[in-house]
Amino acid sequence: MATATILPAPRLMTRIRLKAPILVILSVIWIIGMVLTAIFADLLRPYDITRMDLVARLAPMGTPGHWLGTDELGRDVLSRLLQSIRVSLVIAFGATILSALFGTTLGFLAAQFRGWVEHLVMTLADFQAALPFMIMSLAVLAFFGSSMILLVCLMGFYGWERYARIARGLAIAASAQGYAAAVVQLGATPRHVYIRHILPNVASTLIVSMTLTFPEVILMESGLSFLGLGVQPPQTSLGNMVGFGREYLTRAPWIMLAPSLVIVLTTLSISLLGDWLRDRLDPTIR
């Protein structure tokens, strides 16, 4: 039993160690940078995000003390950018985890019980895929009022249907294989079989879907915040900064350019890494 869970790990590592292209290495470096920024944002930022320097309003990039300039209230763009990275990454990370958990659980339930449970899960998945998520979340957010927890939960619904479909398909396939039947014969509960035996074997495919969903969640959250319906002031997020920077596009384009660049580079890095991981790890596309 122990070998079943331990064996895939070294194989996974050797597959990853096969040479990575330079772009993927750069992406990983950027992602690590962003994660460190998110963790240490409090230590890194030179000013408080709401501290106003009214003398230095709309200071351009390169101003001593405000290297990325200041906004219309004289708040330091660099400090706000660091905090925004933290907020956006936390939301995207929380939402991706939620969505993966929710979708995988439903997918496993569908695979275990089949029948009407499976039918219900698949109908809901079709329904979710049939509608623009943006429009649905717009309605929910504006009517319930935006809060950080609601935003994470709402984004947590984004893409769950993909995990559900993948988890269901893989679990059905795995149940037909010897190892699952063997542990069932040994008296394992369904829960034990799914969590300890099937999950580790389908994890790589699920992780690849997570890396592909993550940038979409960042884009979704920043889109909503851009429209003024996501993260609310005084808190800030990347989309939020772009949204407010838009008002000063002619006079102070740097307010909007810095967070835009971070969004693009982050989603680009994760997509590149995800594509590469998929080619390396996903057995279904071989």
For position 139 contacting other proteins by CB under 8 A, the verdict is: yes
Q: What single-letter amino acid sits at 225?
A: S
Rank residues 40 and 144 by Cβ distance to other proteins and give the closer one. Answer: 144
132 near other proteins, rule: CB under 8 A = yes
Q: Is the Cβ–Cβ distance between 256 and 241 less than 8 Å?
A: yes
Nearer to other proteins by Cβ, of 200 and 253: the residue is: 253
Site for other proteins in 10-69 (CB under 8 A): none
| Contact in structure between 218 and 24 (CB atoms under 8 Å) | no
Per rule CB under 8 A, is residue 243 in the interface with other proteins? yes
For 227, counting Cβ atoms within 10 Å of its Cβ (0-12 exposed, 13-18 middle, 19+ buried), the class is middle
Shortest Cβ 161–other proteins spacing (Å): 13
Under rule CB under 8 A, residue 268 binds other proteins: yes
CA distances to 22, 32, 203, 221 from 153, in Å: 36, 25, 23, 12
Choice between 141 and 193, CB closer to other proteins: 141
Q: Does 246 bind other proteins (CB under 8 A)?
A: yes
Q: Could you tell me the sign of the dihedral formed by the alpha carbons of 117, 121, 126, 131, in that order?
A: positive
User: What are the residues whose beta carbons fall under 8 Å from the beta carbon of 163, sequence distance 6 or more?
Assistant: 99, 100, 102, 103, 104, 107, 206, 209
Closest separation between CB of residue 150 and other proteins, Å?
11
| Neighbouring C-beta atoms of residue 11, cutoff 10 Å | 11
Name which of residues 193 to 232 contact other proteins (CB under 8 A).
215, 219, 222-223, 226-229
Site string for other proteins, 62-101 (x = CB under 8 A): ----------------------------------------
